Amino acid sequence: MMRAGPSQEEIRRHNLGTLLRYIHLHGPTSRTVLADRLGLNRSTIMALTAELTGAGLVREKLPSETGRAGRPSLVVRPESTRFYVLAFDVGVDRLAAARVGLGGVILDRREAVRERNGFDLDEVVATLAGFARQMLRKADADTVCVGAGAAFCGVVRRGDGLVRFGPNIGQTEVPFGAALTRELDLGMTVSVANDANLGALAEHQRGIGTRCQDLIYLHGDVGIGGGIIVGGRLLGGEGGYGGEVGHMVVNPRGRACGCGSAGCLEAEVGERALLSAAGREMSEDLIGRDAIRAIVDAAERGDVLARDALHRVGDWLGFGVSNLVNIFNPEMVIFGGILREIYLSSAAQVRSRLKTNTMAAAREGLRLRTSDLGDDATLVGAAELAFTEVLTNPLEVLTRAVAAG
């Protein structure tokens, strides 16, 4: 039997979610503007805001000043301090957690350095859950947690948050999502996704790419991750493993990669590649961003080895970005994590490659930018992931959360 059109109830739920999402992403907005942006009439907007206000998700206030004649339109604001999500980030070098309010306000945060030797699931989960408990204790009694999300530096299965592969932590098949959900015991599942995918989402929704529907976010940690937004949607692929641009082969005779292949973008551009090209093999005390900065600094001071290393890495980065530009024709490519530093100090190489290796039409409207959210990109993305459900179906999720809390 053919399914009938969406029911009244479904339409109402959809509209509630759309309105709440708009307020969540754009901040306080007047009813008039909402009606205009959402393409709904004013009485529908009024009914919807009344319902969201009733649930306590938003608050309506008269604007302080309008500077215009006539009765001012009420401004709808998100209740940022009452409704929040927990966001987590597992990077190679750090563990982070935050309590993020509706509207994207970071209310509280915790961070710890992660040692690079090995990966102990129980320890990581215990640290993150510990952070969460500290932050929950500090939260007021009438506040409600409406979701939890985590960014992980590995290949993550959609649905259950199983980390299939983490080349830079040397792990396979880690049931991270299940373990964190169990340890937190909040009566809700922790959604998990690849960190660079979430970084792309964050830059698209709250960062430098808010006006772009087609963008690629490249995240440099020890490895190179990527997130591809096409037509406003994150490219996930069949199992959610899409966008792993770090494992695009740019140099078939290149360096061995942690994934088992050779000459991957990650193997030629990542932290290890740069350090080894500059003759500075991994040392205990100088890793990550500081190590990259030291090389850029040395290059500025005339260290030819450091300069050559940056040029070489910039050149490979240029090859990688060229391939992406030819395939996806993005409006913007964003460099995040340590790729920010690498791009800014080897832009001449990157862009020379782009000129040589891309089709003029594909690069015509391209803008190369550094991340606006910086080191918070992945964490902010995790928060957005955690908000997904409540923004899809506000009232039902809220009822469930209040019951669980």
- Would you list the DSSP string of 223-240? SEEEEEEETTEE---SSS
- Would you list the DSSP string of 280-345? ----SSS-HHHHHHHHHHHHHTT-HHHHHHHHHHHHHHHHHHHHHHHHH--SEEEEEETHHHHHHH
In what order do the strands lie in the sheet containing 215-220? 233-234, 224-230, 215-220, 332-337, 367-370
Binding mask 3-42 vs other proteins (x if CB under 8 A, - otherwise)?
----------------------------------------
Question: Residues 239, 300, 327, 402: which binds other proteins (CB under 8 A)?
Answer: 300
Question: Residues 10, 115, 297, 396: which binds other proteins (CB under 8 A)?
Answer: 297
What Å distances lie between residue 97 and 104, 118, 130, 237, 394, CA to CA? 14, 21, 10, 28, 24
- Closest CB 29 distance from other proteins, rounded Å: 20
Based on the shown chain and the rule CB under 8 A, indicate whether residue 344 belongs to the binding site for other proteins.
yes
Residue 192's φ and ψ, nearest 5 degrees, are: -125, 140
Q: For other proteins, which stretch binds (CB under 8 A), given 143-151, 191-199, 270-278, 354-362? A: 354-362
Question: Residues 198, 343, 377, 394: which binds other proteins (CB under 8 A)?
Answer: 343
How far is it, in rounded angstroms, from Cα 181 to Cα 192?
10
- Under DSSP, is residue 122 helix (H, G, I), strand (E, B) or coil? helix
Based on the shown chain and the rule CB under 8 A, indicate whether residue 214 belongs to the binding site for other proteins.
no
- Closest CB 85 distance from other proteins, rounded Å: 24
Question: Residues 59, 139, 347, 388: which binds other proteins (CB under 8 A)?
Answer: 347
- Closest CB 224 distance from other proteins, rounded Å: 19
Strands 233-234 and 224-230: antiparallel
Compute the Cα dihedral for 388, 202, 152, 240 and give only its sign: positive
Question: Nearest 5 degrees, angle CA 52-CA 87-CA 343?
Answer: 115
C-beta atoms surrounding 269 within 10 Å: 30
Based on the shown chain and the rule CB under 8 A, indicate whether residue 380 belongs to the binding site for other proteins.
no
Here the tokens at position 50 are: 């009344």
Binding mask 253-292 vs other proteins (x if CB under 8 A, - otherwise)?
----------------------------------------
Here the tokens at position 345 are: 């100090």
How far is it, in rounded angstroms, from Cα 381 to Cα 150?
8
Residue number with CB closer to other proteins (116 or 289): 289
Question: Residues 95, 350, 391, 397: which binds other proteins (CB under 8 A)?
Answer: 350
Q: For other proteins, which stretch binds (CB under 8 A), given 188-196, 270-278, 361-369, 393-401? A: 361-369
Question: Residues 79, 89, 214, 341: which binds other proteins (CB under 8 A)?
Answer: 341
Query: Hey, which residues between 82 and 141 contact other proteins (CB under 8 A)?
Result: none
Q: For other proteins, which stretch binds (CB under 8 A), given 60-68, 91-99, 100-108, 355-363? A: 355-363
Residue number with CB closer to other proteins (115 or 300): 300
Q: Contact positions toward other proteins, by CB under 8 A?
A: 208, 293, 296-297, 300, 340-341, 343-352, 354-356, 360, 363-364, 366, 369-370, 372
